[in-house]
Structure 1
Amino acid sequence: MELEAGKIVELHHEIKKKRPVIHCITNAVTVNDCANILLAAGASPTMAHHPLEVEEITEGAAALVCNLGAIADFEAMEKAGKKADEMGHAIVLDPVGISGSTYRRMQCQTLIKEIHPTCIRGNYSEIRALLKDCNTVTGVDASDKSVDVESMKQYAKAQKTILIASGAVDVITDGGEVFECRRGHEMMAHITGSGCMSSVMLGAFLGTEATIEAAAACCSFIGLCGEAAAEKTKECQGGTMTFRNVFIDEVSLMTPEKIYDRYQKK
């Protein structure tokens, strides 16, 4: 099923109202975009990575996002994750690259056992690698075009987490309910960091309300912004770099009226 537009509007308003602090331990390739998209949405990012400070920093945050693209910061993720779990904060785990790296997959499994993430979000290939515990592709890009929803449900139920497989259709499940998000645009797959930005935005939404509906709302919100950005990029005959900047612009410019209008179009 697909989430109703009203829930997206409600949570987007709450983020702007509360300005939740989102602690992001993410990779150097996308750290700037991740910080900027959170600011654009109305949240407040902090990107502390040092193991000696992350527990203190995450203690004052509403949510923690751990991105395995920053695998060198595993100790920091472990410490921050345990503190966030202890305090009942939302935790988002992005298993970047586990489809092509046995080491990352093993470390990902360790984090899942130790920090009990609220949500795990990856592309189809990464989620399949997690479910099957094996390499599925080389690199960080997705090659899989589908995902086994029943296996996702079983995994999410066993781990007591919200599991998201991002692709042409985002599949979101907590082991019981299943939401599908068909929003977005293919240009999102042609810029570095669209997945990382989605994960930190999940931190903002789940840090406001730790439910599967909030996770689905985030996926839809990101997709709607991607659609709007693609339209504006086409209008000005821009390419992927233009799209990247306009995408973050659209996050900052999104309104309830635009959300409802786009929902009526599809």
Structure 2
Amino acid sequence: MSISEKYIAELYNKIQEERPIIHCITNAVTVNDCANILLAAGASPTMAHHPLEVEEITAGTKALVCNFGAIADYEAMEKAGRVADELGHAIVIDPVGVSGSSYRREKCQTLIENIHPTCIRGNYSEIRALMEHCSTVTGVDSGDKNLDTEAMRQYADKYHLIMIASGEKDIITDGTAIYICENGDAKMAKITGSGCMSSVMLGAFLGTEPSVQSAAACCAFVGIAGELASEKTDACGGGTMTFRNLFIDEVSLMTQEKMSRCKVHI
């Protein structure tokens, strides 16, 4: 299936109509931006982290996003994940920092096996670290420029999930199809949280339609917002914080006409 602006618009409109609640267990650095980008898209965020409440909270949502920048909240992720899995909710895991931490890698792999996520989204270094069970780079920035797409396809097939490697080109696979998304802008890597925001947006899209096509549409949507924000930032002579605000603005101002920028191919 090709990813058209019409298809992306249908998903975006459905999110705005249904206002799905997305349960985000994410890190303190990006929690505010994650909440705001979901609101900008028409979804409704909840950021419950306490282990004694997450099972009840996640039961009333459409999707769960577990961000390993919040590794201290692992118990909450596991509890919420088991409930979300039992209820058939979309689950997104963002393996933040697994490229430089064996502890995070081990806990992330255990979580994958225990809660059966719908999707894993990380940068190239994080995805390679998960697949190869090794350190690839210290910190949360991606040091890799290339990735073995066949290895990604095999991993996704083994665990019955959608795997996304975000970078200059996003690679999206469900173990069968492989989509390449070329939307986005270099400024997205210059602000804190663009990856975290992408992951919670996947929660909204996959909570609305749990498919690899929906995941690819989300990658295009977020990338297009980044492109438009970058153009406006350059036009006004702004810097990275201007871009950050305009990026969230563009999510709320998205139209089907703007979605015609979609650059996704198989």
Q: Distance in 1 between matches of 2:208 and 2:144?
A: 32
Q: Distance in 2 between matches of 1:47 and 1:228?
A: 28
Q: Distance in 1 between matches of 2:175 and 2:109?
A: 18
Report the equivalent of 1:141: 141
SS in structure 1 of the partner of residue 257 of structure 2: helix
Report the equivalent of 1:18: 18
Report the equivalent of 1:232: 232
Q: Deviations over 1:112-151 (max 9, x none)?
A: 0100000000000000000100000001100000110000
Q: Does the 8 Å CA contact 1:121/1:165 hold for their aligned counterparts?
A: yes
Q: Distance in 2 between matches of 1:251 and 1:202?
A: 13
Identity %: 70
**Unmatched 5+ residue regions in structure 2?**
none
**Unmatched 5+ residue regions in structure 1?**
none
Q: Distance in 1 between matches of 2:262 and 2:103?
A: 41
Q: Deviations over 1:53-76 (max 9, x none)?
A: 000000000000000000000000
Q: Given residue 87 of structure 1, which amino acid in structure 2 is its aligned partner? A: L
Q: Given residue 140 of structure 1, which amino acid in structure 2 is its aligned partner? A: V
Distance change in 2, residues 1:2/1:195 (3 Å): farther
SS in structure 2 of the partner of residue 243 of structure 1: helix
Q: Given residue 226 of structure 2, which amino acid in structure 1 is its aligned partner? A: G
Report the equivalent of 1:39: 39
Report the equivalent of 1:246: 246
Shift of 1:2: 6.0
Distance change in 2, residues 1:24/1:189 (3 Å): same
Q: Given residue 75 of structure 1, which amino acid in structure 2 is its aligned partner? A: E
Q: Deviations over 1:146-204 (max 9, x none)?
A: 11000000000000000000000000000100101000100000000000000000000
CA RMSD of aligned residues (A): 1.0
Q: Distance in 1 between matches of 2:254 and 2:6?
A: 14
Distance change in 2, residues 1:263/1:215 (3 Å): closer
Q: Given residue 50 of structure 1, which amino acid in structure 2 is its aligned partner? A: H
Q: Given residue 55 of structure 1, which amino acid in structure 2 is its aligned partner? A: E
Report the equivalent of 1:151: 151
- 1:51-200 correspondence runs (5 A): 51-200=51-200
Normalising by structure 1, we get a TM-score of 0.97
Q: Which runs of 4+ in 1 moved over 4 A?
A: none
Normalising by structure 2, we get a TM-score of 0.97
Q: Distance in 2 between matches of 1:259 and 1:168?
A: 19
SS in structure 2 of the partner of residue 256 of structure 1: coil
Q: Given residue 173 of structure 1, which amino acid in structure 2 is its aligned partner? A: T
Q: Does the 8 Å CA contact 2:183/2:262 hold for their aligned counterparts?
A: no
Q: Does the 8 Å CA contact 2:94/2:122 hold for their aligned counterparts?
A: yes
Q: Given residue 125 of structure 1, which amino acid in structure 2 is its aligned partner? A: S
Shift of 1:3: 2.1
Q: Distance in 1 between matches of 2:80 and 2:146?
A: 33
Distance change in 2, residues 1:263/1:163 (3 Å): closer
Q: Does the 8 Å CA contact 2:221/2:262 hold for their aligned counterparts?
A: no
